[in-house]
A and B are shown apart, each in its own frame.
Chain A
Amino acid sequence: MEYSSISSEVIRGYIDLIILRVLYDGDSYGYEISKSITRISVGGYIMKETTLYSAFSRLGKLGYLRSYPGTYSGGRERTYYTLTEEGREYYKQKCDEWVLTKDLINKFIIGGQL
């Protein structure tokens, strides 16, 4: 699927949801999160580095995730991220919002499923 054709304004609303979903099942670090996103999207969607890391910073400030220094890999430090309780709450809210949005917009799609 050509997910890269989705305009950035549209996808911006769901960057948080995407990242929080990846962290929902367990802690992870930058590169691995990026790989998971591409994997879950079944190869179609690659999140830019700047988007990813600004989101980490933003979500951290909002208290939805926490970072901690992690195990070394080939002599290098990794920053790991973990979801907070507030983060899980926020993820669920975003899921609900999406269901509602999908429902509404579908009504305006010619020939779209209800």
Chain B
Amino acid sequence: MEAIKIYIENVFKAFGDNERVTALKRDMLAGMEEKYNALKAEGKSENEAVGSVIADFGSIDEIVAELGTPPIISELRPAVSKGAYEEDDEGIPVSREDALRLTAAFKKASKWLGIGVWLILTGVSTMMMIVNSGFNTQNIIGETATRFTNTITNPGSASLAEAVALFALFLFIIPAVILFIINGMSLNRYYEKYGNKALFLDSSTRTELEQMRERFMPKFTAVIAAGVAIVLLAVGGFLLFANLGLETFAVSALIFTIGFAAFLFIVAGMEYHAYDYVLGRGDYGYITKKQSQDSERIIGTVAAVFWPLITAVYLLWSFVGDSWSISWLIWPISGILFGAFAGGISVWTEGKK
């Protein structure tokens, strides 16, 4: 009987590990064991029984027809999976292990990146509370910025509250930056390895990942909904506290609460994105990838000039004109303008093809 078990293990080894394979293995092994026992009961020897059972096993072709080509074979010649891929596209065959490792890496990185963002928002919120050392400062953003820069430019004249606030900010920002660097590097490994190429998966891995994605979707919806609820809660709280005259607290609380929502959005969003990337869907559909290379190049070049420029303008205007209270408007405005520009470029390059 051991020989039969080993035989089955070897035959199915190439097909990997998933529910369908495990179920089929279990059923076939059960049937073969019963046949073996029946033969032994008839008086057949161990060798005769095992030989008979294995002889009746059949051909692996029929298993391939049901489970799909085993991954090892498809690594040697890229199997083109169903989807947006064309026969002559450039792509990399990805083994089941690598595909699962990629997905897991994204999920792990997303949690740390989420924590990093939360740390930054919490740090800003804490800093605001401390530096204003009061709950009802008017024009909080302007006040915070003024005191903050005061601490940096005139360290001697800074009050204790301002110094502590600055320290607190760095206390939060430093671990956040470290997390960004570490996790950014670990994800970068995959982007470098696969670049913009299509990922070829064999059909059983593809099915397995699609099933994983299906199971994830309800979780995704729930997490996003929770995040939105938190944002609404934050806004509501802000309006409440601002009305009560507790302006400093209102803004700090808003930023702090949004930190939680940001964490949820990042974690859910990155896992969603991971499945898209590995399955070649949505933004990563291969046809879309090819087209988007051009528009990405244009947008990237413009961004590299545009954003530093806007930052310089913002800082200059605020410091020289001491107009922190209105200069922040530059950010949402340029954000919207740039978004419109990027969208326009994408449509234009798509139209060119």
Contact = CB atoms under 8 A, between A and B. Distances in A.
Nearest to B8: A49
Contacts of B9: none
B22 to A, nearest CB: 12
A78 B66 contact: no
B57 A48 contact: yes
Given A46-B56, A49-B32, A54 B27 contact: no
Given A54-B63, A54-B65, A58-B66, A30 B58 contact: no
Nearest to A32: B34
B27 A48 contact: no
A57 interface: yes
B62 interface: yes
B84 interface: no
A73 B37 CA distance: 12
A53 B24 contact: yes
Interface in A23-57: 29-31, 34, 46, 48-54, 56-57
B221 to A, nearest CB: 29
A76 B58 contact: no
Given A49-B28, A53-B27, A31 B35 contact: yes
B30 interface: yes
Give the interface SS of chain B, mostly helix, strand, loop or mixed.
helix
A77 interface: yes
Contacts of A56: 27
Interface in A65-100: 73, 76-79
Interface residues of B, number: 20
A107 to B, nearest CB: 33
B35 A50 contact: no
Contacts of B76: none
B30 A57 contact: no
A78 B31 CA distance: 9
A30 B34 CA distance: 10
A80 to B, nearest CB: 11
B27 to A, nearest CB: 5
B59 interface: yes
Interface of B: 24, 26-28, 30-35, 56-63, 65-66
Interface of A: 29-31, 34, 46, 48-54, 56-58, 73, 76-79
* List of 9 A-B pairs having minimum Cβ-Cβ separation, nearest first: A48-B58, A50-B58, A30-B31, A31-B34, A50-B62, A31-B31, A54-B62, A54-B66, A57-B66
10 contacts: A30-B31, A31-B35, A48-B56, A48-B58, A50-B58, A50-B60, A50-B63, A53-B24, A57-B66, A73-B34
Given A31-B35, A57-B24, A79-B27, 10 more contacts: A29-B31, A34-B35, A49-B58, A53-B27, A54-B63, A56-B27, A57-B66, A76-B30, A77-B30, A78-B30
